[in-house]
Amino acid sequence: MNAIEQAVERGRALIGAATTPAELQAAHSEAFGRRSALAAMTAALRDLGPEERRERGRELQEARAELTDLYTARAAELEQAAALDRARAERLDLTEQVWSMAGAGGPLARSLGAPVPAGHLHLVTQVRQEVEDIFIAMGFEVAEGPEVEDDWHNFEALNMPLHHPARGMFDTFYLRAGEPESVLLRTHTSPVQVRLMESRRPPIYAVAPGRCFRRDTPDATHLPVFHQLEALVVDEGISMSHLAGALDAFTDAFFGPGRRARLRPSFFPFTEPSAEFDVTCWVCGGAGCRTCAGSGWVELGGCGMVDPAVFSAVGVDPERYTGFAWGLGIDRLAAARTNLGDIRDLLDNDVRFLTQF
Amino acid sequence: MRAPLSWLREFTPVEGKPEEIARALSFLGLVVEGTEVIGAPLPGVVVARVLETRAHPAADRIQLVDVDLGDGEALQICCGAFNMKPGDLVPLATLGTVMPNGMEIARRKMRGEWSNGMLCSAPELELGEEGGEKGIYVLPTSAQPGSPVADVLGLGPDVVFDIEVGPNRSDCFSVAGVARDLAAALGLPFSLPEPPRSVDPLVARAEVSLAPGAEALCPRFTGTVLEGVQAAAVPALVRRRLSLAGMRPISPVVDVSNYVMLELGQPNHPYDLALLGGGGLVVRRARDGEELVTLDGVARRLSERDLVIADGTGAAVGVAGIMGGTSCEISASTTTVLLEVANFDPLAVAATGQRLGLHTEARTRFERGVDIELADRAVDRFAQLLGPGARRGVTTDVGRGLPARPPVRLRVGRVNQLLGTELSAEACRRLLGPLGFVARPDGPDAFSVTVPSWRPDCSREVDLVEEVARVHGYENIPRRMPPRPARATSLSPHQRARRRVRELLAGTGAHEAWTATFVSADELAACALDPGEALELENPLDQSQGLLRTSLLPGLARAARFNRERQAGAMALFELGSVFRRPEVGGTAREASGDRPVEGVDEREQLGVLAVGDGAGATWAVQAFEVLRRGLALSQARLAPAGPSTWPGAAAFHPGRVAAVMVGERAVGLVGEVAPDVAERYDLPGRAGLVLADLVPLLRAADGRREAAPVSRYPATDLDLAFEVGEEVSADELGRALSTAAGGLLTDVALFDVWRGAPLGPGRRSLAFRLRLRSAERTLTEADVAEVREAAQRAAHALGAALRQG
């Protein structure tokens, strides 16, 4: 073992033996410091011939590098151990709190805590629950589905085969999972229709609220992440006049008596006939104002009679059953209800905003 | 699609206010997004008859022209052009006229002679290049002197409707198609004039063919040679309408091509025949890796799935149905054109367009399906618009066409069943007729309906039902409440419990947040979460939103920081929302797949609570969790000391201040304090409390139905027991041991005092429990109490806890 190897060996032992930051610092000085063997050998380089100096210099360089690595690793180990020690020192038995609370509010209560003002539910939650309740009262159930969907449920079963131009209506976020463009964030709540009909036979009276995603740049009226409410009714004898009636009933319940829904022809691959629906402007009541651009109506969503192709995809007999469906924006309803100018406020979670509702 | 009213009126005599027409269109499903009222162009420019031309006494580059504006009086004009002769009708810019270039016409002297206005060339009036700058625009002889030039050229005031056409209506990507729908809705006649077909037998026949393998994607391909196109002059009206429709006039051939597409909906492509290698066209599939520079100057890489138009030598000159190439572009020197008017498979065009990221007018129409019978009319119209100067050859028509479309059976009962109407058979027939559907009776109350070739979107009975409804008017469908379902409904137990979770958490003073689903790898790392577990977006809005959240913590921490930066004080925020993980990463995630059913994704509903500021910290978090546990009667759930990797995301918690939410033997969440390094990265002050749990299994820990237990009439005895116990034994272990040992007489138990310090040694503490004992049948005796005390003492002893006497 030459002198360099001996110096490395000794440094390794010193660093390894250090158990505190102070000891490690001392080991560092001893291994690298001015009086260390390495320093002496480095100083002695100048007495050597050029050939030998280069060779020896390289060896010393490698030795230093090796010791530096050891030092850094050991410092990290000690830091981690110190963090664990601190954690251990700060350790709390949280179950003490559980068992202390066991008396609260029961026969063993010794004192009442101070009452606190209740927190606020998010505006979107409040509107969503209100809308759910309206439909529950009409006999609908509340269904749910996943936010990450497959191509089948979001597109194909909804009568949008691959490359269908209607897919261009939805700017879709795709995930890097499975086959390319096979897994996506649902662009609407309509895939819940498919899941409902796949899971059981009609009659189905359901609404499905949930988060949806479209690759839109956020602005005052659009968010890439938003909430929709899907409705699906499938039964014998359901017609478009029931669709219009149900929309009227909802509009009346949510916006107040005298407000109604209006249908205009439109196109969706999963409904036929398809319509856009507008509601009486909530600001002016139909007289015409800025919110409704003078028309007295505000567009709220899309709807229509379930397309027979969708029924076929899920194995429902379109001769026996007919149905209607719609999707409307819950965030839009929330904005309408509160006269909210910029829908992006919903996402900031500013406590000063949250506590207004 | 921008449709000028004057153009619509070529097909149907629609009258009325623009807003009424816009409303009628919107209620057909042709949503009018904007209505522009356009004034007549060229105010002040009128028709003048040339009476006499005279030499200018003092200049030879201008002459004097006497014109008559219809009143028989001669008006003297100085003019620099010499192309008119007496009797010609020419445009005169009268005094006060502001020219398109901004110059105002005034009476002035030129070399001593008065000029009372200006005679105009076509370019000066922005009516095209005809005649150039130097020639006065000579008007048709039918014009009435004194009348506005705009009227003579058919350039009256106009209204442009900007219509959003749905992806199903290829036919309404044309002015004629829009007019047809509008006429049907308003009960007006509609007619599509037949352009004349005059074929010059001397013009060569176009060489066009389909290569093997191309037929399926190209049901029809026609080629027509047109010679002498340099002589073509398109009317000012064509250029004006192109402008109103949003297309720039370029040259006669290109303008006509665009005009035919906008008017009829048939995309078409003129090639300069002189530049076309081999003198003809072949439709073939592209070769893998083949490159083509399209008209927009971009080199496009193609594959075998794409269809191209190639010249006679096989070199590609265009991407079929989408965009031509640069090699045979029409130019000023073009004399002979080979006109392609074809029909391509909609899905193939859509797929190629998507792959190339190319959106063009042609693609928009082809991918929705163009009328296969439209080609002949389009070629005729093209030739007609080029004018008599161009000579048109015989059209070569190849392709095997489309299979004949069988008539569609329409049952009147089905119409009324789907719409909730009471329309008669005759009413249905009358509503469909104007759209081009021919309904012949087919049994009682049913029709056999022939669908017009321009409606490829209508192939089923239900499509016809929509057409009936559209023309009938959705607003005329009666309204009824849907029948009530046979069974009453309510929220599901999970949905009800979820609402209760929100209410209970709000009761602790926490506010509900809605945080972003998208996070960055840095944000996850800042929360000590492994970005490798997260699902990645293929096409994020930006890289800071490239991953799906694996936990609610990043969003809540971000919201807390946002509020702290705005001087908010202590606060708690909560959220209920979906989190997502790769199922293949992380042992715990694999063992319990998500709540939801998409393969390759572990999506589950998470509950998150984050408390910051004074009084937050682990204790607050535990209290909030206990509020939930007891409020929801989650008797199967309890908090237990947590190991380092009990549940995904444990590193976000302070290792000494975390408890696991156990349901049976399974951890479904963690409660405790935010890890100091995480809190530091989000500038969260002091100690922050955190609850994260999988909501579905947590809520399953609820009691089912409870049976009522009678309330005892006998008095209770409280037994207070303090134990000295090492820190290694948790209060939970001791409490549970005592509860078990106390047996059937125990009704309640709580920890009421914790003491550390003298006289206890380090690592030791005193835990004092109160046990309430009561029997339903009798008053307890001292012996009963002593027995419980002894049993409790024994159980505690087994854990190394000694009863303190005192």
Please say which residue of A111, A146, A176 terminates a domain: A111
Min Cα separation B764/chain A (Å): 12
Identity of the residue numbered B398: V
Judged by phi (left if over 0) then psi (alpha if -120 to 50, else beta), residue A293 lies in left
* Beta bridge pairs of residue A209: A229
Verify whether the Cβ–Cβ distance A94 to B657 is below 8 Å.
yes
CA quadruple B344, B346, B348, B354: dihedral sign = positive
Contacts of A95 in chain B (CB under 8 A): 639-641, 659, 730-733, 735
User: Where do the H-state alpha helices sit in B400-552?
Assistant: 412-419, 425-432, 461-472, 493-507, 521-526
Q: Are strands B207-210 and B280-285 parallel, antiparallel or unpaired?
A: parallel
The verdict on A180 and A299 lying in the same domain is yes
Contacts of A162 in chain B (CB under 8 A): 351
Q: Are the C-beta atoms of residues B719 and B789 closer than 8 Å to each other?
A: yes
Highest mean pLDDT (candidates A56-60, A239-243, B168-172)? A239-243
Residue B587 clears pLDDT 70, i.e. is over it: no
A356: phi then psi, degrees, rounded to nearest 5: -80, -20
Contacts of A348 in chain B (CB under 8 A): 559, 562
The verdict on A104 and A127 lying in the same domain is no
Min Cα separation A192/chain B (Å): 12
Q: Are the C-beta atoms of residues B514 and A124 closer than 8 Å to each other?
A: yes
In a domain, A265, yes or no: yes
3-state SS assignment for residue B281: strand
Tell whether omega for the bond before B145 is within 30 degrees of 0, i.e. cis: no
Contacts of A322 in chain B (CB under 8 A): 417-418
Structure tokens at B453: 């070739």
Min Cα separation A237/chain B (Å): 7
B591: confidence class by pLDDT, cuts 50, 70, 90: very low
For residue B740, the surrounding DSSP H or E stretch is helix B731-742
Residue B252 clears pLDDT 60, i.e. is over it: yes
Chain centroid to CA B458: how far? 24
Distance CA(B805)–CA(A128), nearest Å, equals: 58
Min Cα separation B190/chain A (Å): 21
The verdict on A221 and A328 lying in the same domain is yes
Mean pLDDT, range B761-779, rounded to an integer? 94
The residue in chain A having the minimum alpha-carbon distance to the alpha carbon of residue B687 is A90
Structure tokens at B163: 């219509």
Q: Measured between CB atoms, which of B508, B658, B754 is closest to A119?
A: B508
ipTM for the predicted complex: 0.85
Report the number of secondary-structure helices (H) and strands (E) in chain B: 21, 38
Q: Which residues contact B619 (CB under 8 A, 6 or more apart)?
A: A92, A94, A97, B689
Verify whether the Cβ–Cβ distance A205 to B489 is below 8 Å.
yes
DSSP label at B550?
S
In a domain, A116, yes or no: no
CB contacts under 8 A, B 5-24 vs A, are none
CB contacts under 8 A, B 56-115 vs A, are none
In a domain, A64, yes or no: yes
Q: Edge-to-edge strands of the sheet including B408-411? A: B408-411, B446-450, B438-441
Contacts of B481 in chain A (CB under 8 A): 242, 245-246, 249
Q: Are the C-beta atoms of residues B608 and B691 closer than 8 Å to each other?
A: yes
> Is B507's Cβ below 8 Å from some Cβ in A?
yes
Verify whether the Cβ–Cβ distance B477 to A241 is below 8 Å.
yes
User: What confidence score (pLDDT) does residue A297 get?
Assistant: 86
The residue in chain B having the minimum alpha-carbon distance to the alpha carbon of residue A174 is B538
In a domain, A191, yes or no: yes
Which of these ranges, B17-26, B125-134, B155-164, B312-321, has the smallest mean pLDDT? B125-134
DSSP label at B641?
E
Min Cα separation B571/chain A (Å): 9
Q: Which residues contact B591 (CB under 8 A, 6 or more apart)?
A: none
* Beta bridge pairs of residue B512: B574
The verdict on A128 and A148 lying in the same domain is yes
> Is B644's Cβ below 8 Å from some Cβ in A?
no
Verify whether the Cβ–Cβ distance A102 to B478 is below 8 Å.
no
In a domain, A218, yes or no: yes
The verdict on A212 and A333 lying in the same domain is yes
> Is B452's Cβ below 8 Å from some Cβ in A?
no
Verify whether the Cβ–Cβ distance B477 to A244 is below 8 Å.
yes
* Beta bridge pairs of residue A148: A185
User: What confidence score (pLDDT) does residue B131 get?
Assistant: 62
Distance CA(B175)–CA(A345), nearest Å, equals: 42
Min Cα separation B733/chain A (Å): 9
Residue A173 clears pLDDT 80, i.e. is over it: yes
Mutate to test the interface with B, among A100, A164, A242, A320 (most CBs of B within 10 A): A100
* Beta bridge pairs of residue A44: none
User: Where do the H-state alpha helices sit in B666-711?
Assistant: 676-681, 695-699
Distance CA(B557)–CA(B565), nearest Å, equals: 12
Mutate to test the interface with B, among A84, A85, A93, A133 (most CBs of B within 10 A): A93
Distance CA(A128)–CA(A131), nearest Å, equals: 5
pLDDT in tens, B279-333: 899 999 999 999 999 988 899 999 999 999 999 999 999 999 999 888 888 988 9
* Beta bridge pairs of residue B398: B221
B406: confidence class by pLDDT, cuts 50, 70, 90: very high
3-state SS assignment for residue B547: strand
What are the distances in angstroms from CA B564 to CA B434, B568, B620, B684?
A: 66, 5, 19, 8
Mean pLDDT, range B575-602, rounded to an integer? 68
Verify whether the Cβ–Cβ distance B513 to A349 is below 8 Å.
yes
Mutate to test the interface with A, among B552, B596, B598 (most CBs of A within 10 A): B598
Contacts of A91 in chain B (CB under 8 A): 656-657, 727
Distance CA(A48)–CA(A259), nearest Å, equals: 99
* Beta bridge pairs of residue A279: A261, A298
Residue that the structure tokens 């579905």 belong to:
B696
Q: Are the C-beta atoms of residues A351 and A119 closer than 8 Å to each other?
A: no
Q: Are the C-beta atoms of residues A172 and B537 closer than 8 Å to each other?
A: no
3-state SS assignment for residue B272: strand
Distance CA(A246)–CA(A242), nearest Å, equals: 6
CATH of the domain at A199: 3.30.930.10
Verify whether the Cβ–Cβ distance A94 to B489 is below 8 Å.
no
User: Where do the H-state alpha helices sit in A19-122?
Assistant: 21-32, 37-44, 50-89, 94-101
Contacts of A242 in chain B (CB under 8 A): 420, 480-483
Q: Which residues contact A299 (CB under 8 A, 6 or more apart)?
A: A276, A277, A278
Distance CA(B470)–CA(B547), nearest Å, equals: 44
For residue B226, the surrounding DSSP H or E stretch is strand B220-227
DSSP label at A20?
S
Chain centroid to CA B565: how far? 35
Residue B504 clears pLDDT 70, i.e. is over it: yes
The mean of the pLDDT values for chain B is: 91
The verdict on A106 and A129 lying in the same domain is no
User: What confidence score (pLDDT) does residue B395 get?
Assistant: 94
The residue in chain B having the minimum alpha-carbon distance to the alpha carbon of residue A244 is B479
Mean pLDDT, range B802-806, rounded to an integer? 81
User: What confidence score (pLDDT) does residue A271 get?
Assistant: 96
Please say which residue of A90, A111, A132 terminates a domain: A111
Verify whether the Cβ–Cβ distance B507 to A93 is below 8 Å.
no
Percent of chain B whose pLDDT exceeds 70? 97
> Is B730's Cβ below 8 Å from some Cβ in A?
yes
Higher pLDDT, A179 or B107: B107
The verdict on A141 and A75 lying in the same domain is no
Higher pLDDT, B102 or A166: B102
pLDDT in tens, B357-389: 999 999 999 998 999 999 999 999 999 999 888
In a domain, A118, yes or no: no
Mutate to test the interface with B, among A85, A91, A108, A326 (most CBs of B within 10 A): A108
Q: Are the C-beta atoms of residues B237 and B230 closer than 8 Å to each other?
A: no
CB contacts under 8 A, B 344-373 vs A, are 346-347, 350-351, 354, 367-368
Strand runs labelled E in chain A: 141-142, 148-150, 183-185, 204-213, 225-235, 261-268, 271-280, 297-306, 322-329
Residue A221 clears pLDDT 90, i.e. is over it: no
Q: Which residues contact B665 (CB under 8 A, 6 or more apart)?
A: none
B806: confidence class by pLDDT, cuts 50, 70, 90: low
For residue B208, the surrounding DSSP H or E stretch is strand B207-210
Contacts of B539 in chain A (CB under 8 A): 173-174, 215
pLDDT in tens, B467-485: 999 999 999 999 999 988 8
The per-residue DSSP string of B114-148 comes to: EE-SEE-BTGGGTS-STTTTTSB-PPPTTPPTTSB
Q: Measured between CB atoms, which of A102, A150, A162 is closest to B749?
A: A102
Distance CA(A333)–CA(A254), nearest Å, equals: 9
Q: What is the radius of gyration, based on Cα positions, of chain A?
A: 35
Q: Are the C-beta atoms of residues B416 and B424 closer than 8 Å to each other?
A: no
DSSP label at B171?
G
Verify whether the Cβ–Cβ distance A121 to B506 is below 8 Å.
yes
Range of the domain at A315: 123-354
The residue in chain A having the minimum alpha-carbon distance to the alpha carbon of residue B355 is A163
The verdict on A157 and A27 lying in the same domain is no
Residues in chain A: 357
Structure tokens at B680: 């530091």
What is the count of residue pairs from A and B with beta carbons less than 8 Å apart?
356
Mutate to test the interface with A, among B20, B512, B544, B773 (most CBs of A within 10 A): B512
Q: Measured between CB atoms, which of B474, B731, B749 is closest to A265?
A: B474
- Single out the residue of A227, A191, A233, A197 nearest to residue A209, CA to CA: A227
Please say which residue of A111, A140, A157 terminates a domain: A111
> Is B568's Cβ below 8 Å from some Cβ in A?
yes
Highest mean pLDDT (candidates A348-352, B154-158, B300-304, B447-451)? B447-451
For residue B558, the surrounding DSSP H or E stretch is helix B553-564
Mean pLDDT, range B420-445, rounded to an integer? 95
Q: Are the C-beta atoms of residues B113 and B119 closer than 8 Å to each other?
A: no
The verdict on A258 and A235 lying in the same domain is yes
Verify whether the Cβ–Cβ distance B508 to A116 is below 8 Å.
yes
Distance CA(B468)–CA(B450), nearest Å, equals: 14
What are the distances in angstroms from CA B673 to CA B420, B505, B623?
A: 61, 17, 12
Distance CA(B397)–CA(B209), nearest Å, equals: 9
Distance CA(A110)–CA(B556), nearest Å, equals: 35
Residue that the structure tokens 């009609």 belong to:
A202
Residue that the structure tokens 């029948």 belong to:
B483
The verdict on A217 and A297 lying in the same domain is yes
CB contacts under 8 A, B 236-265 vs A, are none
Identity of the residue numbered B45: V
Verify whether the Cβ–Cβ distance B510 to A119 is below 8 Å.
yes
Mean pLDDT, range B531-554, rounded to an integer? 94
The verdict on A160 and A39 lying in the same domain is no
Chain centroid to CA B268: how far? 28
In a domain, A299, yes or no: yes
- Single out the residue of B745, B741, B749 nearest to residue B715, CA to CA: B745
Q: Measured between CB atoms, which of B495, B503, B518 is closest to A142?
A: B495
Q: How many domains does chain A have?
A: 2
The verdict on A190 and A239 lying in the same domain is yes
Structure tokens at A126: 């409040």
In a domain, A287, yes or no: yes
User: What confidence score (pLDDT) does residue B132 get?
Assistant: 62
User: What confidence score (pLDDT) does residue B699 get?
Assistant: 94
Contacts of B548 in chain A (CB under 8 A): 148, 175
DSSP label at B565?
T
